[in-house]
């Protein structure tokens, strides 16, 4: 424990040795900020600070676990276990589990993820009989989220004519009523969404001086990772908790602030000195990740931003290769360029697929790259798709478990009351909703309120509803005496979910069964983890909380495949070789983000993040034309390309200018091209091309840019008409005219 400081450079030591008072660490990309945070915690403990008095807030569970692991290795597991360390949402959920009654919530509240919130909103829209084209559940949810994170309650909304007018102009004049109903339904169902975990924590600290004092006294030292990504709500909570001792350490990089769309406020990091005038500022400017060319190129880009903190990132790493700048005719050609380049680098340098990452602005851009990689049999994985916990069959099991834990959970009940089918249709459910409102009880409680003498439900329907109610209550009794795995296994067995899918007999159904099995494996892993923890909690409640706070960004990139992902998804990751594709105006920067300087600067920061993911090689690519909505459109190179110092760039298409043309000139060029009289080419008029592959041998392994890897099975013809029959792995048999073939022999 005594020699840990030897692992730090002089820049890193200063914030680690700083004990009392506020401080900000401006940590450039690849500068070792995690190490600084980790060692600062270790040093505080070494200086006599009780681990119970330390709070460390991160944005991903992965980051928290990594830090805890490092601290355990330097100190001990028993010490690291006592530190309050985790994501904002997990830590605040932990606080609310203890203190929720102070703000009118039970301690067993359910946490809704984005999907659950959207589902509830969708039901409200349907009940209000509103136009789904104007009232999209996702749009409504995002707006509610924005309002909550800015502390605009339902009451505040209705008292703000400007907000009401915005929604009227968007043909959503009923938004306020939806917002009101959503909040009422969540409260009635004992539910908090992700935004509520922040909102209600703020409410708790504001309404209860006792709770505020309790946690101020507890958290004498507070550390916040990725401070540039905090929103207004997170800022207020941290400020409230730190006000008593002001031992607040924040770490971040303003150049990597890229989440304004989900509420992140760059002003939090830019104005830290104003918020804490007595604070110390430390800078981590040495990059340990990338080559000099990549670091200096990224610097030349980000220097075009005005809203930034003063810092100069540098590295002692090798100079490395210049950044490659590629121009393709189309997005399909761009995909082929990326795939063939990966193929060449793999074979030339004996690299693994996992050495490569392809990054893009929008997820839809993966298609052309995926197609090209499949054709040449290169394994890849797309990150950012549907997470395991969002798959239907997994959501079904979790809905049963959540209803067992919280009988008021309306959305969970709606999901599984007739799944697997038990004869309780939508009409019956609609009647339950009416009864629930009339009696002012939850949907589950409304089953007990049914009057057998009423004509509202027939006797068979009542029997089915009571059977369902008794099933859930029996599960609840069982869960109170057994752990999460035992309860989950019982639910899966008695609901006959597996039997339902097995009877279907399709491949998809078999996959669903496997996912249910994997879910149970996950619950079992949770039990094992809790056994390793002193006074661990193996209850269903604790498991559901952990699952609810699970984030897709916590996935480690362990795959031995080429990684394809959006730049937002790539934040915090690194790869030896990185391709950034689609660098065109209106795509990157996005057409949705060019209306203000602030928006452009965030897009530039996003590009900076993309560039700094690369350790050894960086390839930037854009197209002259792109297929959109059934039309081929001309594309301009991204303005960001011209902002990179040309000293660090190798333009592989240097015969063409990257200066943007006027639209009219582009149109004129295309028109002239299309007006040419194109004639069939006479093969005899073409001078003979010397091609070393004319003497290609049988069984030779070859590579074709479009068709991929293949084996020569036959050779026929004479002279200029010599052709080879090649069996390509991905494309099957093709006859290739060798005179014009762009083949490469694979040794």
- The Cα 745–Cα 335 span in angstroms is 22
pLDDT digits (tens, 9 = 90+) for 457-469: 888 999 999 999 9
Sequence-ordered list of residues with C-beta below 8 angstroms from that of 43, at least 6 positions apart, any chain: 4, 5, 16, 17, 19
Q: Are 501 and 495 in contact (CB under 8 A)?
A: no
From the list 116, 118, 225, 331, the catalytic residue is: 225
Which tokens hold the place of 458? 């027939």
Q: How many residues does the chain have?
A: 747
Q: Are 593 and 562 in contact (CB under 8 A)?
A: no
User: What are the beta bridge partners of residue 727?
Assistant: 711, 733
Sequence-ordered list of residues with C-beta below 8 angstroms from that of 209, at least 6 positions apart, any chain: none
Element (H, E) at 32: none
Element (H, E) at 623: strand 614-623
- The DSSP letter of residue 584 is B
From the list 613, 615, 639, 739, the catalytic residue is: 613
User: What are the beta bridge partners of residue 587?
Assistant: 590
Q: Are 232 and 262 in contact (CB under 8 A)?
A: no
Q: Are 312 and 285 in contact (CB under 8 A)?
A: yes
From the list 33, 119, 327, 414, the catalytic residue is: 33
From the list 11, 19, 34, 725, the catalytic residue is: 34
413-to-70, 121, 418 alpha-carbon distances in Å: 42, 15, 9
- Pairing relationship of beta strands 54-58 and 84-87 according to DSSP bridges: parallel
- The Cα 338–Cα 144 span in angstroms is 41
pLDDT digits (tens, 9 = 90+) for 603-620: 999 999 999 999 999 999
Q: Are 503 and 497 in contact (CB under 8 A)?
A: no
Active site residue 226: yes
CA nearest neighbour of 580 among 602, 563, 594: 563
From the list 113, 195, 226, 396, the catalytic residue is: 226
CA nearest neighbour of 516 among 491, 482, 541, 549: 491
- The Cα 420–Cα 503 span in angstroms is 12
Active site residue 38: no
Radius of gyration of the chain (CA): 30
From the list 38, 75, 201, 256, the catalytic residue is: 256
Give burial (CB, 10 Å; 0-12/13-18/19+) of 54: buried
Q: Which residues of 629-642 are buried (b: 16+ CB within 10 A; e: fewer)?
A: eeeeebbbbbbbbe
Active site residue 244: no
- The Cα 395–Cα 116 span in angstroms is 10
Question: What is the pLDDT at residue 689?
Answer: 33
- The Cα 480–Cα 474 span in angstroms is 10
Question: What is the pLDDT at residue 386?
Answer: 54
- The Cα 164–Cα 145 span in angstroms is 16
Give burial (CB, 10 Å; 0-12/13-18/19+) of 407: buried
Q: Are 189 and 442 in contact (CB under 8 A)?
A: yes
To the question of pTM greater than 0.75 for the whole model, the response is no
- The Cα 328–Cα 378 span in angstroms is 21
- The Cα 53–Cα 45 span in angstroms is 10
Active site residue 225: yes
Active site residue 256: yes
Active site residue 613: yes
- The Cα 72–Cα 301 span in angstroms is 39
In this prediction, the residues of the chain whose per-residue pLDDT falls under 50 are 552-555, 655-693
- The Cα 627–Cα 364 span in angstroms is 12
User: What are the beta bridge partners of residue 380?
Assistant: 562
């Amino acid at each position: 424990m005594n020699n840990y400081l030897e692992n730090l450079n002089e820049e890193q030591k200063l914030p680690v040795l700083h004990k009392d008072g506020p401080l900000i660490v401006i940590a450039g990309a690849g500068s070792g900020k995690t190490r600084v945070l980790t060692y600062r915690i270790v040093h505080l403990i070494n200086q006599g600070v009780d681990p119970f008095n330390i709070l460390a807030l991160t944005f991903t569970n992965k980051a928290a676990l990594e830090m805890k692991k490092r601290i355990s290795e330097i100190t001990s597991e028993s010490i690291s276990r006592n530190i309050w360390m985790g994501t904002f949402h997990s830590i605040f959920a932990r606080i609310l589990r203890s203190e929720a009654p102070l703000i009118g919530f039970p301690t067993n509240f359910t946490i809704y993820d984005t999907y659950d919130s959207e589902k509830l909103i969708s039901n409200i829209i349907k009940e209000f009989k509103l136009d789904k084209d104007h009232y999209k559940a996702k749009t409504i949810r995002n707006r509610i989220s924005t309002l909550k994170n800015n502390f605009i309650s339902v009451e505040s909304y209705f008292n703000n004519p400007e907000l009401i007018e915005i929604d009227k102009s968007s043909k959503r004049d009923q938004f306020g009523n939806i917002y009101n109903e959503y909040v009422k339904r969540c409260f009635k169902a004992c539910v908090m969404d992700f935004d509520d975990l922040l909102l209600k924590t703020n409410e708790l600290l504001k309404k209860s001086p006792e709770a505020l004092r309790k946690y101020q006294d507890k958290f004498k030292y507070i550390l916040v990772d990725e401070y540039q990504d905090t929103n207004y709500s997170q800022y207020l909570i941290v400020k409230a908790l730190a006000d008593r001792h002001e031992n607040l350490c924040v770490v971040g990089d303003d150049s990597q602030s890229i989440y304004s769309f989900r509420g992140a406020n760059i002003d939090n990091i830019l104005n830290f000195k104003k918020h804490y005038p007595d604070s110390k500022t430390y800078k981590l400017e040495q990059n340990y990740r990338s080559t000099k060319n990549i670091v200096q190129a990224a610097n030349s880009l980000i220097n075009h931003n005005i809203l930034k903190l003063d810092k100069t990132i540098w590295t002692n790493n090798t100079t490395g290769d210049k950044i490659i700048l590629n121009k393709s005719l189309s997005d399909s050609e761009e995909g082929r360029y990326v795939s063939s380049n990966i193929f060449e680098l793999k074979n030339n340098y004996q690299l693994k697929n996992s050495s490569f990452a392809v990054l893009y602005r929008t997820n839809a851009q993966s298609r052309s790259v995926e197609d090209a990689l499949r054709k040449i049999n290169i394994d890849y994985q797309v990150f950012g798709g549907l997470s395991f916990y969002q798959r239907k069959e997994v959501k079904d099991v979790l809905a049963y478990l959540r209803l067992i834990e919280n009988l008021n959970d309306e959305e969970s009940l709606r999901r599984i009351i007739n799944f697997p089918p038990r004869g309780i249709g939508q009409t019956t459910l609609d009647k339950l909703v009416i009864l629930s409102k009339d009696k002012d009880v939850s949907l589950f409680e409304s089953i007990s309120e049914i009057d057998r003498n009423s004509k509202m439900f027939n006797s068979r329907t009542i029997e089915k509803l009571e059977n369902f109610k008794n099933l859930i209550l029996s599960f609840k009794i069982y869960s109170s005496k057994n752990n999460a795995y035992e309860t989950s296994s019982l639910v899966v067995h008695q609901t006959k979910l597996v039997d339902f899918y097995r009877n279907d007999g399709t491949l998809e159904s078999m996959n669903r069964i496997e996912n249910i099995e994997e879910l149970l494996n996950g619950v079992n892993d949770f039990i094992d983890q809790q056994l390793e923890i002193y006074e661990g909690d193996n209850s269903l409640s604790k498991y559901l909380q952990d699952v609810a706070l699970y984030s897709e960004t916590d996935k480690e990139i362990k795959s031995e495949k080429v990684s394809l992902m959006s730049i937002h998804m790539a934040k915090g990751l690194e790869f030896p070789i990185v391709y950034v594709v689609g660098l065109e105006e209106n795509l990157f920067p996005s057409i949705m983000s060019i209306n203000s300087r602030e928006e452009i600067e965030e897009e530039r920061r996003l590009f900076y993040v993309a560039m700094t993911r690369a350790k050894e090689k960086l390839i930037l690519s854009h197209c002259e034309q792109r297929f959109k909505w059934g039309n081929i459109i001309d594309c301009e190179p991204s303005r960001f390309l011209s902002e990179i110092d040309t000293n660090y760039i190798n333009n592989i298409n240097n015969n063409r200018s990257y200066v943007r043309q006027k639209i009219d000139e582009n149109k004129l060029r295309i028109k002239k091209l299309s007006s040419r009289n194109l004639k069939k080419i006479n093969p005899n008029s073409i001078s003979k091309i010397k091609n070393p592959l004319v003497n290609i041998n049988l069984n030779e392994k070859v590579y074709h840019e479009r068709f991929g890897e293949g084996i020569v099975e036959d050779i026929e013809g004479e002279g200029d008409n010599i052709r080879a029959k090649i069996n390509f792995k991905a494309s099957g048999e093709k006859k290739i005219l060798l005179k014009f073939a762009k083949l490469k022999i694979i040794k």
